[in-house]
Amino acid sequence: MNILVIGCGGREHSIVMKLSESERISKLFVAPGNAGMKQAESVAIDEMNMEELVTFAKDKQIDLTIVGPENPLNEGIADSFIEAGLKVFAPQKAAALLEGSKSFAKEFMKKHAVPTAAYGTFTSADEAKMYIEKQGAPIVIKADGLAAGKGVIVAETQEQALAAVDEILVGKAFDGAGAKIVVEEFLSGKEFSLMAFVHEHNVYPMVPARDHKRAFDHDEGANTGGMGVFAPVPDVTADHLDFAMKEILQKTADGLMHEGRPFTGILYAGLMMTEDGPKVIEFNTRFGDPETQVVLPLLKNDLVQVLLDVMDGKDPGLEWEVASCVGVVLASQGYPGSYSKGVAIPAISETDTYTVHAGTKQVEDKLVSDGGRVLLVGAKDTSHEAAREKVYRALADVENGREFFYRTDIGK
């Protein structure tokens, strides 16, 4: 089979790494890819150039395309491939709206009795501020649209919440993504992520993962796209997973079918473990980043066969290693704010670890940074602590906090 992966980040590199293990693949392409994706042939087509991607898929007789990032999904890339008679594992635009609009997602959950936080939706700063003053703090303010994982502000005080409203609605901090905001009840508890392979009514969950969103140790600093992650999650019980599967993932898949938005692809639920059980913080309609980088290494199945079975309506019979996987992100100094690109990336030993490239490019014979999150260093072992030790041993020679930085407490 000829397979195409669309995207250029750590999530896509992890998908490429897993797919490359399959004996079913004749040729593996990635568009546009990055400097670390040696397991596939990179194609210089931007992930948003749907016309060229469809043409390429036809010319190279691509049997299956997997879409990684959220932006092309929400612009309808799956629709374009399907209209061209091409097989694609990704949700169509109508279903991808579950991630593309937080207000749509909240209304959808309310309609289909999916557990989530109480909320209000606003385009008026004054009305949002009145709601905040009535609800009090802590409270959560979210840009409605796609903001690369950074459009969420957890305000611990009312003053911070009011400032966040001005920042998003008035100051246009997230451009069009912040033309509308969702103001949510603050849920306390521990977060975890649960992804599933989905086709229409059929839902096949993966192992849960937990990522660390804040930039710095002790969960301090700004929210990022994720600074580190581990899987599985010891404090998430079989009962919790059963509840999340039945009351959240299955209800969502069924609700989308009911609304004429059939879903094929990866459904990701970002969940908070509250006193009343898991509740949805957010939905993604694709593999999570960085969760994918520690979940896929634990999958024993051939990923190609899994995707084909799911699309054919068959149970893929998912099997998972009885092991732990931990990943730590190496980020450019300044991320998630402004940062420099083109900085030479330090060598990292891969004796007991693996390296996933996110924001890298090759300049002559040198590997340099090309994004905020640059690499993820991951490791598997029989215990969580042993996996952590392997990762931090590999990162020990990197000068933390000069040109790059990483959290030292991932998985603690």
Q: pLDDT per residue over 371-393, tens digit each?
A: 999 999 999 999 999 999 999 99
Tell me what pLDDT residue 194 has. 98
Distance between CA atoms of 226 and 97, rounded to whole angstroms? Answer: 22
Place of tokens 């898929």: 57
Query: Where residue 175 falls among pLDDT bands split at 50, 70, 90?
Result: confident
Q: What angle do CA 277, 187, 331 make, to 5 degrees?
A: 110
pLDDT at 150 over 80: no
pLDDT at 152 over 90: no
pLDDT tens figures, 57-93: 999 999 999 999 999 999 999 999 999 999 999 999 9
| Strand 360-363 relative to strand 366-369, pairing | antiparallel
pLDDT at 148 over 80: no
Tokens describing residue 28: 């593996």
Cα separations in angstroms, 374 against 104, 335, 406, 407: 32, 10, 10, 14
Tokens describing residue 17: 């790494």
Q: What is the mean pLDDT of residues 147-156?
A: 82
Distance between CA atoms of 114 and 112, rounded to whole angstroms? Answer: 6
Q: What is the mean pLDDT of residues 208-228?
A: 94
Tell me what pLDDT residue 149 has. 65
The fold of the 324-405 domain, in CATH, is: Glycinamide Ribonucleotide Synthetase; Chain A, domain 4 (3.90.600)
What are the residue ranges of helices labelled H in 47-170?
50-59, 70-74, 77-83, 93-100, 102-111, 125-135, 158-165
Distance between CA atoms of 335 and 196, rounded to whole angstroms? Answer: 30
Q: What is the mean pLDDT of residues 200-212?
A: 98
Query: Where residue 396 falls among pLDDT bands split at 50, 70, 90?
Result: very high
Tell me what pLDDT residue 352 has. 93
- Is the omega angle on the peptide bond into residue 138 within 30 degrees of 0, that is, cis? yes
Burial 39-72 (b: 16+ CB within 10 A, else e): bbebbebebeebeebbebbeeeebbbbbbbbbeb
Segments making up each domain of the chain, as ranges? 2-92, 118-185, 190-311, 324-405
- In CATH terms, 2-92 corresponds, of 3.50.50.60, 3.40.50.20, 1.10.10.10, 3.40.50.970, to 3.40.50.20
Residue range 190-311 in CATH 3.30.470.20: yes
DSSP-based three-state secondary structure for 81: helix
Tell me what pLDDT residue 177 has. 80
Smallest CA-to-CA distance from 278 within 110, 70, 117 is with 117
Asked whether the beta carbons of 133 and 148 are under 8 A apart, the reply is no
Q: What angle do CA 384, 387, 390 make, to 5 degrees?
A: 150
Top-tier CATH class for 118-185: alpha beta
Smallest CA-to-CA distance from 406 within 210, 396, 286, 7 is with 396
